[in-house]
Amino acid sequence: MKEKTHPDYHKITVVMTDGSSFETKSTWGKEGATLRLDIDPKTHPAWTGVRQSVDRGGRVQRFKDRFGMTGSAEGGVGAGTKSSGAKPEATPAKGAAKKK
């Protein structure tokens, strides 16, 4: 096996978002380094199953302002565009009897 082909594997401390910490081995950083997490399994929706909307820097509001989405029933995709005035045909409910 070739010498010096593998990275240094050493102990580091990982600090979770709630302040708790644990020691593990990693190739990240140097021996004794501290890795502080922004997102971890205790808070991330992929693991918790709880969805939360995080708006960092007003990005959602800027998007809504740019595309004219006000959050009302009339707003949304295509809001502010001219329509032909034609109403879409009503679709029958599931299981409704068909006319002959």
DSSP state letter for 12: E
Residue 10 is predicted with a pLDDT of 95
Q: How far apart are CA 98 and CA 92, in angstroms?
A: 8
CB 43 within 8 A of CB 17: yes
CB 16 within 8 A of CB 40: yes
| Domain extent listing, the chain | 9-47
C-alpha separations of 75 from 5, 78, 85, 93, 98 in Å:
58, 8, 17, 25, 34
The model carries a pTM of 0.45
pLDDT digit string, tens, across residues 26-79: 999 999 999 999 888 887 877 787 766 666 667 778 888 888 876 655 544 554
Answer with the residue of higher pLDDT: 17 or 93.
17
